[in-house]
Amino acid sequence: MTNTTKASLNEFNPPRLEMTAGQLNRLVEAALEEDLGWGDLTTDYFVPANVTATARFVARQPGVVAGLDVARAVYQAVDPQIRFNATLQDGATLEAGQTLAAVEGNARSLLKGERVALNFLQRLSGIATATSRFAAATAGTKARIVDTRKTTPLLRDLEKYAIRCGGGYNHRRNLSDGVMLKDNHLSALATAGIPLEEALKLGKERLPHLVKVEVEVDRLDQIPAALEGGADVILLDNMSPELMKQAVEMIGGKALTEASGGINLDSIAAIARSGVDLISSGALTHSVKALDIGLDFEFRAPNVI
């Protein structure tokens, strides 16, 4: 079941796609170039040039929609004469059989953009739907659902947008957005004989004052050093809910707490009840199932209105 509360709020204040028109158009053009190659042989050789059509994007299963503006950009790139009319907006909940949008124009153009438009819309809606379910499972707690950098190459901005459409929040966008000392970084420090608390203090002196520092721990005895060094966020990696609760109590509000590692719908409610501030899951983007959305066509013969 989708998170109807958060999705309905999105209907009044929809998430913003944080990409310029140029960035989106370049991404769409690359996707079309990949799919069309040097021409759609089937459509160009077997569909008459003067046939027109209307096609409706229809949900085959319930969920949360994301990516309508991307689908619109696909069709604008294929043929500027195509008319794209969305009946919903991103972040809205869907029922099976519901129409998301309709496109109208030259049948060849509609067919050429079909797969690319659906690929974007199905994947982004799948991410939004999964995020919505995670958010619903944490209702009544303070925990926020956040994403990771485990995204499809070159689709990160779109996938992080889909997270927001589903009622989630974004972690850092890239390696320049914040400091995150994970196990390999900590091992490198230990190999060099540099205590974590010392490294944190020196690093924070050099960093801009608005940059936050997060430290990953997988044992309770690592927490005091992270706190002493001034960590802003402490990531509790692959801990049981019981151990997370102890960690939250140890930290005592001196840093934000983030749960990560093996998060799924079966475990997320107990993790949220441990008192953590954030729950991050790479599964929301790296292994999510696309939402089943179809494009249903109605073709019209020449000179038929």
Tell me whether residue 190 is in a domain. yes
User: Same structural domain for residues 13 and 144?
Assistant: no
On whether both 129 and 142 belong to a single domain, the answer is no
Residues 104 and 62 in one domain: yes
DSSP-derived secondary structure letter, 64: E
Q: How far apart are CA 42 and CA 79, in angstroms?
A: 18
Are residues 177 and 65 part of one domain?
no
Tell whether 189 and 124 lie within a shared domain: no
Task: Looking at the chain, list the stretches that DSSP marks H as alpha helix, in order from N- to C-terminal side.
Answer: 4-12, 21-36, 41-46, 68-78, 107-137, 156-165, 183-191, 196-206, 223-228, 241-251, 268-273, 283-286
- The rounded mean pLDDT for the chain is 94
Please answer whether residues 57 and 293 qualify as being in contact, where contact means their C-beta atoms are separated by less than 8 angstroms: yes
CA distance 140 to 145: 13
* Same domain flag for 259 and 294: no
Both 227 and 153 in one domain: the answer is yes
Give a yes or no: residue 305 inside a domain: no
253 and 119 both lie in a single domain: no
What is the residue-level pLDDT of the chain in tens, covering all 305 positions?
Answer: 344 444 444 555 668 898 999 999 999 999 999 999 999 999 999 999 999 999 999 999 999 999 999 999 999 999 999 999 999 999 999 999 999 999 999 999 999 999 999 999 999 999 999 999 999 999 999 999 999 999 999 999 999 999 999 999 999 999 999 999 999 999 999 999 999 999 999 999 999 999 999 999 999 999 999 999 999 999 999 999 999 999 999 999 999 999 999 899 999 999 999 999 999 999 999 999 999 999 999 999 887 55
Whole-model pTM over 0.95: no
User: Phi, psi at residue 136, to the nearest 5°?
Assistant: -65, -35
List, by residue number, the catalytic residues.
115, 150, 182, 216, 237
**One domain for residues 68 and 185:** no
pLDDT at 1: 37
Give the integer Cα–Cα distance in Å for 220 and 250.
8
| Model pLDDT for residues 13-24, shown as the tens digit of each residue | 668 898 999 999
282 and 246 in one domain? yes
The tokens for 134 are 């995670």
Q: How many domains does the chain have?
A: 2
What span, in angstroms and rounded, lies between the C-alpha atoms of 16 and 29? 21
CA angle 297–129–150, rounded 5-degree value: 110
CATH number of the domain where residue 209 is located: 3.20.20.70
User: Do 115 and 192 lie in a common domain?
Assistant: no
Domain containing 266 equals 137-286
- Any residues with CB less than 8 A from the CB of 254 and at least 6 apart, and which? 227
Judge whether 216 lies within some domain.
yes
Q: Which residues contact 129 (CB under 8 A, 6 or more apart)?
A: 2, 63, 64, 166, 291
CATH number at residue 36: 3.90.1170.20
| pLDDT at residue 15, as a whole number | 86
Q: Are 142 and 272 found together in one domain?
A: yes
